[in-house]
Amino acid sequence: MTKKGKAIAKIDKAISGINEQLNRAQLAETDPVYRNQLVNLKSILVVMREEITFPKKNDESSNYRLGRIITDSWSFTDPLAAIILDAEHSFIEALKET
């Protein structure tokens, strides 16, 4: 599989993980900040997926810094954090290939 294909697969896995968390009924009631972060991260991942699928025509590099959001406020043991960070890393590697 190409770097682009791996990045898309990992981004899709991260989006799926976020959707699972968002579908948990108690999430909205217990932690609205975490829920808002999930919604924002999902939006960014969707844009990243589109950027891999349809590369920009200019040389502008994308830097979404999902890692900064996660390391600033998430638990280091959160398995979804690792999935999202892996997706971001694969995205960066795939951009180098294009």
Q: What is the pLDDT of residues 37-67, one digit of tens each?
A: 999 999 999 999 999 888 776 656 577 888 8
**pLDDT grade for 7, boundaries at 50, 70 and 90:** very high
Percent of the chain surpassing pLDDT 70:
88
Total tally of structural domains belonging to the chain: 1
End-to-end CA distance of the chain: 15
Considering only the C-alpha atoms of the chain, give the largest distance between any 2 of them, rounded to a whole number of Å.
43
Cβ–Cβ < 8 Å for 10, 94: no
Predicted TM-score (pTM) of this structure = 0.85
pLDDT at 23: 86
pLDDT at 34: 83
- 69 by Cβ neighbours in 10 Å (0-12 / 13-18 / 19+) ranks as middle
Cβ–Cβ < 8 Å for 20, 12: no
Three-class SS of residue 55? Answer: coil
